[in-house]
């Protein structure tokens, strides 16, 4: 949802900013731009479309300088166009601003500035910022004072950076709501929306707090809090490596991340499980409190909510806690009722999703405790929650979430088993068998990954379809939702997931010989019911693609295509089923020529409501 980068140092400004933008492209790719100070001259380049377009432009019109800011955009106010691309400038073109977030009072500010004689060229909310800074500089304030006065006028949420010809070799920055980090390498300083953008250069970083602002210069970083008091920089080592944020030998990051899942599981297992006990070293809640939780309200968005729906079943099954799920954007507005023993669980890969964060704040406002399942433990949600559980999926950059999803489900499973064990709910033998099965999951995932050729064949068939239906029940109803979400977001084929039992109450009307139906029917209690769904679809000429436990000859015979997963407990099947569904979406998107890591209109981290 827009990414910003800034750099002051002696390396090629163009390449540092371009590489930074490329690493932030997951945040948006409608347009990109750069503004660089060359001595006291400010020069700007902008291009519509992906960062590759800006790169082309820079080849023909290069930029030189030693301080600069850059931006990759996910359009909110104003269509993707060169005019609406950041950086935005004042009328003299000597101040440039890049911004991630929304200025909620921009219409009022714009009207005021127009009255003052300022001419606006774009439809964006961001353009008020350079004009405001200009206005205060014309009133006689220094660039620093003008920057602070500008911040005081801006309402909403933002991470922003500004440069001015009058403040040579200084980049101003501010954070309110949207993430921003400052980083340093060898006599060089950077700022960025996320850590991957600085990894090639930086060895230390500071995660700014809300309302902090300041500037970087060749000599260092100066940070102030919202009251204007100087803050001591809290440097932390950057532990990511270039390989962590690179696609390596894979064609797309999404595919790399799909293949990383067995390793992620091994990492989670190593941390969470010894011979008999489950551990949550980072969890701040004590066992007495966990045993007393009466109700859990899970709120999340997109894929994270689908993981939460599986987690709800685990909480009920293994921890005997009544649980419910809702989209964060709905939950926070429906005046949720809370009793003293209720816990709110937020689930988020990024920890920055505006709706989920707003849900956390809503819970806190109602004096409810919040536990968040997060991949990014330096995120805003990590700071604002009462306790957190780390997903340990490693950096996920592909817009379509894959390894974070399965890590969410696995950690929810462990959490439910952990609470269950505090309450002595699971008989020892049953518990031992389940833990043994969980330990076997990484190898079973590896086995599924080997079936990619079969999945490619199905993708070849799917690629020419316009509509698909995904069906699952109980543990795999959320798998159906997630399978459909993956397919539509990266291949643009319309896909809907339904609970198998609901099929006959409406969706069945959609089935024809041109509408494939994906039947998720692993071994377990609901398999027989899924066979009924298969028959319902088959008798309406739907093409059947089934996901089954290996050796299920009965369903194989009835299916046009099938994908097998290794035998496992029904409760664990969503963890395995996720893999072929991800690969099916991936190969279908590839067969349709789609840019898998940059699906149209989407962004990985959605920091606006």
Contacts with ligand G6P by CB under 6 A lie at: 301-304, 348-350, 353, 356, 399-401, 602, 604-606
Nearest Cα to Cα of residue 237 among 207, 215, 210, 212 = 207
What phi and psi values does residue 165 have, to the nearest 5 degrees? -60, -25
C-alpha–C-alpha distance, residues 586 and 463, integer Å: 11
Provide DSSP, 324-360.
EEEEHHHHTTS-----TTEEEEEEESSS--HHHHHHH
Q: Output DSSP code: residue 366.
A: T
Torsion of CA 423, 425, 429, 434, to 10 degrees: -90
Instruction: Kindly tell me which of 407 and 455 has the beta carbon lying closer to ligand G6P.
Output: 407
> 177, 152, 148, 202: which is closest to 6 by C-alpha?
202
Of the two residues 317 and 350, which places its CB atom closer to ligand G6P in the complex?
A: 350
Find the shortest distance in angstroms from Cβ 412 to ligand G6P.
13
User: In angstroms, what is the minimal distance from the CB of 609 to ligand G6P?
Assistant: 12
CA distance 434 to 601: 41
Strands across the sheet containing 95-103: 88-89, 95-103, 156-164, 171-176, 213-217, 220-224, 230-231
Of 35 and 579, nearer to ligand G6P (C-beta) is: 579
The CA distance from 69 to 55, in Å, is: 15
- Residue 90 or residue 375: which is nearer to ligand G6P going by CB? 375
Strand order in the sheet with 544-549: 494-499, 467-472, 517-521, 544-549, 561-565
We find the least distance from the C-beta atom of residue 190 to ligand G6P, in angstroms, to be 23
Least distance in angstroms from the C-beta of 490 to ligand G6P: 10
In this structure, what token pair is assigned to residue 561?
A: 């295509």
CA dist 98 and 609 (Å) reads 20
369: left (phi over 0), alpha (psi -120 to 50) or beta: beta
Closer residue to ligand G6P (CB): 349 or 385: 349
Instruction: Mark whether 568 is an active-site residue.
Output: no
Closest residue by Cα to residue 598 from 587, 589, 607, 609: 589
Nearest distance from C-beta of residue 348 to ligand G6P, angstroms? 3
Q: How far apart are CA 539 and CA 228, in angstroms?
A: 71
- Of 569 and 602, the one with the shorter C-beta distance to ligand G6P is 602
Find the DSSP H helices in 502-601: 527-538, 553-558, 573-591
Q: How far is the CB of 240 from ligand G6P (least distance, A)?
A: 17
Using an 8 Å Cβ cutoff, are 72 and 32 in contact? yes
Q: Tell me how far, at minimum, the Cβ of 415 lies from ligand G6P, in Å.
A: 17
Other CB atoms within 10 A of residue 543 CB: 22
- Minimum CB separation of residue 456 from ligand G6P in Å reads 23
Which residue among the candidates 403, 444, 486, 604 is catalytic per the annotation? 604
Q: Is 364 a catalytic residue?
A: no
Q: Which is nearer to ligand G6P, 490 or 572 (CB)?
A: 490
The number of beta carbons lying within 10 Å of the beta carbon of residue 333 is 11
CB closer to ligand G6P, 200 vs 359: 359
For ligand G6P, which is the closer residue by CB, 31 or 408?
408
Distances (CA, A) of 102 to 75, 158, 276, 447: 11, 6, 49, 45
Taking the least distance from each CB to ligand G6P, the nearer of 397 and 441 is 397
Question: Cα–Cα distance between 499 and 491 in angstroms, integer?
Answer: 22
In the bound state with ligand G6P, the residue whose beta carbon lies nearer, of 87 and 351, is: 351
Residue 303 CB, nearest distance to ligand G6P (Å)?
3
The Cα–Cα gap between 351 and 328 comes to 13
Catalytic: which of 2, 301, 568, 594?
A: 2
Distance CA 371, CA 285 (A): 9
Contact (CB, 8 A) for 459 and 588: yes
Residue 369 CB, nearest approach to ligand G6P (Å): 20
Taking the complex as a whole, the smallest distance from the CB of residue 491 to ligand G6P amounts, in Å, to 15
Would you state the structure tokens that stand for residue 579, as one six-digit string? Answer: 């893999």
Least distance (Å) from ligand G6P to the CB of residue 373? 9
CA separation, residue 395 to residues 23, 198, 399 (Å): 11, 14, 12
Residue in this structure with the two tokens 């990954």, named with its chain if needed: 449
Which residue of this chain has its Cβ atom nearest to ligand G6P in the complex?
302
Q: Answer whether 458's CB lies under 8 Å from 491's CB.
A: no
- Distance of alpha carbon 547 from alpha carbon 566, whole angstroms: 11
**Whose Cβ is closer to ligand G6P: residue 301's or residue 397's?**
301
Active-site positions?
2, 604
């Amino acid at each position: 949802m827009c990414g910003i980068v800034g750099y002051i140092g002696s390396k090629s400004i163009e390449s540092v900013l371009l590489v930074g933008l490329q690493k932030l492209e997951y945040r948006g790719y409608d347009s990109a731009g750069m503004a660089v100070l060359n001595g006291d001259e400010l020069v700007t380049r902008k291009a519509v479309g992906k960062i590759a377009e800006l790169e082309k432009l820079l080849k023909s019109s290069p930029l030189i300088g030693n301080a600069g800011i850059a931006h990759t955009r996910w359009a909110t106010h104003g269509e993707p166009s060169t005019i609406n691309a950041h950086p935005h400038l004042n009328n003299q073109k000597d101040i440039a601003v890049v911004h991630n977030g929304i200025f909620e009072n921009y219409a009022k500010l714009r009207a005021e500035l127009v009255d003052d004689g300022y001419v606006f060229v774009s439809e964006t909310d961001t353009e008020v910022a350079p004009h405001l800074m200009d206005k205060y500089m014309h009133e006689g304030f220094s660039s620093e004072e003008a920057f602070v006065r500008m911040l005081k006028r801006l309402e909403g949420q933002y991470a922003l950076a500004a440069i001015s010809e009058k403040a040579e070799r200084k980049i101003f920055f501010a954070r309110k709501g949207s993430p921003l980090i400052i980083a340093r390498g060898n006599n060089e300083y950077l700022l960025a929306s996320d850590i991957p953008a600085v990894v090639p250069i930086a060895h230390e970083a500071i995660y700014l707090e809300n309302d902090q602002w300041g500037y970087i210069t060749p000599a260092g970083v100066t940070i102030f809090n919202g009251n204007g008091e100087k803050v001591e920089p809290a440097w932390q080592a950057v532990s990511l490596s270039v390989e962590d944020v690179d696609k390596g030998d894979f064609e797309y990051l999404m595919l790399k991340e799909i293949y990383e899942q067995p390793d992620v599981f091994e990492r989670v297992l190593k941390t969470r499980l010894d011979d008999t006990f489950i551990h949550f070293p980072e969890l701040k809640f004590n066992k007495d409190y966990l045993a007393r939780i009466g109700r859990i309200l899970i709120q999340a968005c997109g894929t994270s909510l689908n993981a939460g729906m599986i987690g709800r079943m685990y909480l009920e099954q293994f921890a005997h806690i009544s649980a419910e799920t809702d989209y964060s954007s709905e939950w926070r507005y429906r005046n949720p009722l809370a009793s003293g023993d209720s816990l709110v669980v937020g689930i988020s890969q990024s920890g920055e999703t505006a709706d989920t964060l707003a849900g956390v704040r809503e819970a806190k406002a109602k004096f409810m405790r919040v536990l968040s399942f997060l991949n990014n433990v330096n995120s805003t949600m990590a700071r604002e929650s009462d306790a957190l559980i780390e997903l340990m999926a490693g950096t996920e950059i592909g817009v379509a979430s894959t390894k974070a999803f399965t890590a969410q489900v696995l950690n929810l499973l462990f959490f439910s088993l952990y609470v269950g064990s505090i309450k002595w709910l699971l008989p020892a033998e049953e518990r031992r068998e389940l833990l043994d099965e969980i330990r076997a999951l990484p190898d079973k995932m590896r086995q599924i990954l080997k079936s990619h050729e079969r999945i490619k064949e199905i993708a070849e068939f799917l690629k020419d379809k316009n509509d698909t239906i995904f069906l699952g029940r109980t543990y795999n109803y959320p798998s159906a939702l997630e399978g459909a979400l993956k397919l539509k977001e990266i291949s643009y084929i319309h896909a809907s997931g339904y609970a198998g039992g609901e099929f006959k109450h409406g969706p069945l009307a959609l089935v024809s010989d041109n509408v494939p139906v994906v039947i998720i029917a692993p071994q377990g209690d609901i398999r027989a019911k899924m066979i009924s769904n298969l028959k319902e679809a088959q008798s309406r000429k739907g093409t059947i693609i089934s996901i089954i436990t290996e050796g299920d000859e009965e369903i194989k015979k009835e299916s046009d295509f099938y994908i097998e997963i290794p035998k496992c407990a029904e409760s664990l099947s969503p963890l395995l089923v996720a893999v072929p569904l991800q690969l099916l979406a991936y190969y279908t998107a590839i067969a349709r020529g789609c840019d898998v890591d940059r699906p149209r209109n989407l962004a990985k981290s959605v920091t606006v409501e």
